[in-house]
Amino acid sequence: MEGLALYALLLIAICTGWLLGRSGSRSIKFPPRQTRDIFQEYFAGLNYLLNDEPDEAIDTFIKALEVNGETVETHLALGALLRRRGKVDKAIKVHQAVLARSGLEASLADAARLQLAKDYISGGLLDRAERLLKELAQGKPEGKWEALPLLVSIYQLEKEWHRAITCTKELLSHSAYRRSSEWNARMVHYHCEIAEELLVEGQLGEARQQLRRGGGFQRHHLRASLLTARLEHESGDCNGAIRECRRIAEHSPAFLTQVVDVMAASYSELGREGELIKFLDGFLDKQANPVALQLISRLIAETEGADRAIQYVRRHLAAQPSFAAVAKLLEFEVETNQFDPAMISDIEKIREVLLAHLAKQLGFQCGYCGYEARQLYWLCPGCHRWDSIQPKLEKGR
């Protein structure tokens, strides 16, 4: 019924467009088709709808809708509707028919090109979309500012970060985008994408330059801070890495898990494990974090012994009950006590169940569309928004 209502509305829109076309027929240079023929096609399309044949109905309505100066906007709306309904090939057909009309006003032609580019993007024909959008970006200002965001979206899909930066810089020159936190954050991400590639290649100096350029658009961006911590450690500046990690822990505590290995390695290389234990202890007093608990309990066991680590985990468990604390306590109990084999086996099974349950709770989730993942994505695969995915941490029980 929903589809029938939708296409019935479409029929009304087409009829309205036809009537407008008839009212302005004197200014049309080519003769309109006979009224009887057009309405025969409308009724044929309605018959297809009633027989649950929407594709045939769409084809009939497209045929019936005469392209002229009064119905172009109706065509554009019809094409956009088809695209949203997943009929990309038919949307392309409609918008191409509009562009094929001779004497089309420049503004309407640009609108048709923009809609056709969106059709191509939806259909995965990115090269064709890029060509159309480049034409629009080089034309009138109105079309340019609509085309540039779509060009950026194409370069994101193709991971052409340098081109994305070029287009976004041009967008940020416009007053409507200049102060946009979203678009400035995008620039940081594009530079971070390049910096990550350079880090993998061992080009630390070039990676640092990219992070500095990104920082010019938004200072202390979380992703840039995470990469900076990693960069400082790989450059041998352990103090710099520690400073960056502590800043992340202060401003974005849920993301400490992303740099806890860098932090531990930096403190260890400086021989300052005691300071790390003190820092993590204060951190865990404010926020439950299974990764931080795992690290601090291991450090205490290595430096002060397993019994001291058990005491710490028990104290933490009493203050902030959690599956992570119970699992860690069971691990230490098995290691330090002489249970009979059957008891050890039972404890290990309990621990495995707890860890499996904890694994289901942890991960990442988009705060906008709800997309869930086991790893961190800066660009949500579901809604394609930057910075919308956050870690899911176990809550205290």
Report the C-alpha gap between 193 and 231 in whole angstroms. 14
Helix/strand/coil for 246: helix
The pTM (predicted TM-score) of the whole model is 0.76
Which pLDDT tens digit goes with each residue over 325-377? 666 656 666 666 655 665 556 566 666 665 665 566 667 888 889 888 888 89
Which pLDDT tens digit goes with each residue over 223-241? 999 999 999 999 999 999 9
Range from 107-121, 263-277, 318-332 carrying the lowest mean pLDDT: 318-332
Neighbours of 2 (CB within 10 A): 6
Report pLDDT for 183. 94
Nearest to 387 by CA among 118, 125, 186: 186
Q: Where are the domains of the chain?
A: 180-254, 272-361, 364-397
* Environment class of 108 (CB within 10 Å of its CB; exposed 0-12, middle 13-18, buried 19+): middle
**Is there a common fold for 180-254 and 272-361?**
yes
The phi and psi torsions of 227 (rounded to 5 degrees) equal -70, -35
CATH class for the domain made up of 272-361: mainly alpha
Annotate 162-184 with DSSP letters as a single string. Answer: HHHHHHHHHHHTSHHHHT-HHHH
Range from 78-87, 109-118, 159-168, 213-222 carrying the lowest mean pLDDT: 78-87
Report the C-alpha gap between 34 and 11 in whole angstroms. 18
CATH numeric code, 180-254: 1.25.40
Nearest to 258 by CA among 396, 389, 395, 397: 389
Q: Which tops the pLDDT comparison, 234 or 289?
A: 234
Report pLDDT for 38. 46
